[in-house]
Amino acid sequence: MKMEDIPKEELVLSGHSACQGCPLTTAMRTVLKALGKRTIMAIPACCSAVIQGMYPNSGVNIPLLNVPFETTAAVCSGIEAGLATQGIDDVNVLGWAGDGGTYDIGIQALSGAAERGANFLYVCYNNEMYSNTGVQRSGATPKHAWTTTTWKGKEEERKDMPSIMVAHNIPYVATASISHPIDLYEKVTKAKSIKGTKYIEILAPCPPGWRFDYSKTIEVAKLAVQTRAWNLYEVENGKYRINATIRRPKPIEDYLKLQQRFKDAVKDTEKVREMQANVDARWQWLEKMVEITN
């Protein structure tokens, strides 16, 4: 697939209130283009809510619901059931939440919906913190990262949410990055064709939260993949597949030093070594999973 095959029609309209250089709108544009106009979306409290929540106007050109923080997946189950009752089968249901609304607050509803096998796509755009409320730590914040609630760097490792979703035995789980739009587009297109609960997680580097210049959003996302800090893979019916094989990864410092949230961590060689070791171990684990499941 080529870049020009991505549809021209914009479903995220210009003049919305997201920050300059916001990664979530880039992600949402590509995801909605892949799903098409016949899509209903549910969005909880998160940065996305400011795009369509500016009553009386909405910046998103499809029907959507603003829902309480923890209910995204429950609402999607309801929409899907309503559509099924009416015999409508050509409408996509999309749950769209941040990492706070997925890893922490929305996990119960999501787990329940996945267990029931509700037919919808859940997208988590992961900016690794509660950006909308002013940069607090979340279950997705990586170890040693600064947030307003982890002044000296977070002490705990982040959750492995994609693996939690794989453990629900759902037909499709994938990770993506805003820096790889064709990969993201293809993953959403694939998820659209599968019946059941689908989960896609998109890395979304947040300029004010991660503290880098807003022109570097895509650069940071790209470096995350090139240093293996964020891996692009998909799990289809339990089978793992790596989508971006990084043969010669860049050192993790290249990724860390662009972000002020790691400014203390990069000064500590022991912490950098630890982060590099974690990233390497994660890649080995991923390769092992590909080997075991195929």
Partner 1 sequence: MIPLSKPKKGASGKTGMWRTEKPVLDKERCTNCLLCWVFCPESAIYRTEDKVEIDYEYCKGCGVCANECARGAIKMEEE
Please state the closest distance from residue 128 (CB atom) to partner 1, in A.
18
Please state the closest distance from residue 20 (CB atom) to partner 1, in A.
4
Q: Of the two residues 163 and 260, which places its CB atom closer to partner 1 in the complex?
A: 260
- 56 burial via Cβ count (<10 Å: 0-12, 13-18, 19+): exposed
Please state the closest distance from residue 130 (CB atom) to partner 1, in A.
20
Q: Of the two residues 4 and 291, which places its CB atom closer to partner 1 in the complex?
A: 4
Residues with Cβ within 8 Å of 124's Cβ and at least 6 positions away in sequence, in order, are 97, 98, 99, 101, 102, 103, 161, 199, 200, 201, 202
Q: Of the two residues 6 and 286, which places its CB atom closer to partner 1 in the complex?
A: 6
The pairs formed by 14-19 with CB atoms below 8 angstroms and a separation of 24 or more are: 15/59, 16/50, 16/51, 16/52, 16/54, 16/59, 17/50, 17/51, 17/54, 17/59, 18/47, 18/50, 18/51, 19/207, 19/208, 19/214
Residues that bind partner 1 (CB under 8 A): 3-4, 6, 8, 10, 12-18, 20-23, 25-26, 29-30, 51-62, 178, 181, 213-219
Please state the closest distance from residue 161 (CB atom) to partner 1, in A.
24
Q: Of the two residues 65 and 81, which places its CB atom closer to partner 1 in the complex?
A: 65
CA triple 131-258-14, angle to 5 deg: 50
45/53 Cα distance (integer angstroms): 10
Q: Of the two residues 66 and 111, which places its CB atom closer to partner 1 in the complex?
A: 66
Please state the closest distance from residue 22 (CB atom) to partner 1, in A.
5
- 127 burial via Cβ count (<10 Å: 0-12, 13-18, 19+): buried
Please state the closest distance from residue 225 (CB atom) to partner 1, in A.
14
204/57 Cα distance (integer angstroms): 25
**Do 138 and 165 form a contact (C-beta atoms < 8 A)?**
no
Q: Of the two residues 98 and 153, which places its CB atom closer to partner 1 in the complex?
A: 98
Q: Of the two residues 10 and 156, which places its CB atom closer to partner 1 in the complex?
A: 10
Please state the closest distance from residue 41 (CB atom) to partner 1, in A.
12
